[in-house]
Amino acid sequence: MIYDRSKWFRMVLGRKEVGKRIAKARRSRGWTQRDLAEAMGVSWHTVVGWENGVRFPQTRYLGTLANCLRRSLDLILLNRGRNARHWKLVDGSS
């Protein structure tokens, strides 16, 4: 059986709360929704869905999201870990 972590996150975490934290972090960087979408390689509508709590970011995007927003996943998903360092991409890109 394949364990779907994204499904677990959706059950445990409130999509609206996570969306608010994504929007807040994006605005603190001075980015528009389109800027974040372009940096992540997703559509603008995807970012709008995340921020409005309509959908939850897929597991494969969580590390990139944290990196782009310069926040830890703990802070984005759970609103804790303010002193945690943001995730680094393993492939060497910055």
Task: Report the alpha-carbon distance of residue 20 to residue 16 in Å, rounded.
Answer: 6
The reported pLDDT for the residue numbered 84 is: 43
Helix (H) or strand (E) holding 29: none
Per-residue pLDDT reduced to its tens digit, 37-88: 999 999 999 999 999 988 889 999 999 999 999 999 888 888 876 544 444 4
pTM metric for this prediction:
0.73
User: Rg (Cα) of the chain, in Å, rounded?
Assistant: 13
Q: Which domains occur in the chain, in start order? A: 20-78 (1.10.260.40)
Give, in order, the Cα–Cα distances in Å from 87 to each of 5, 67, 68, 90: 18, 6, 9, 9
